[in-house]
């Protein structure tokens, strides 16, 4: 699959965010003392904060 430079950068960014969220969520689950059934929400919230703190803002691209 071919990717553009922007797509490659996006993939790397998302991969980094997922790895950070996974590490932080492991700590979160240890503190909970049980598996977190709401992990998708937790990951999304963690990644949102991480992006915001890094100066990113997600916007929908306009068609065309």
Show Cβ contacts of residue 21 under 8 Å, excluding neighbours closer than 6 positions: 42, 43, 46, 47, 50
pLDDT tens digits, 3-45 = 677 777 889 999 999 999 999 999 999 999 999 999 999 999 9
- pLDDT attached to residue 62: 86
Distance CA 14, CA 7 (A): 10
- The answer to whether residues 3 and 29 touch, using CB atoms and an 8 Å cutoff, is no
**What's the pTM?**
0.78
């Amino acid at each position: 699959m071919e990717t553009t430079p922007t797509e490659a950068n996006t993939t790397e960014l998302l991969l980094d965010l997922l790895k950070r969220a996974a590490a932080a969520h492991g700590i979160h689950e240890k503190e909970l003392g049980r598996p977190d059934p709401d992990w998708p929400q937790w990951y999304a919230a963690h990644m949102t904060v991480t992006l915001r703190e890094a100066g990113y803002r997600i916007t929908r691209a306009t068609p065309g």
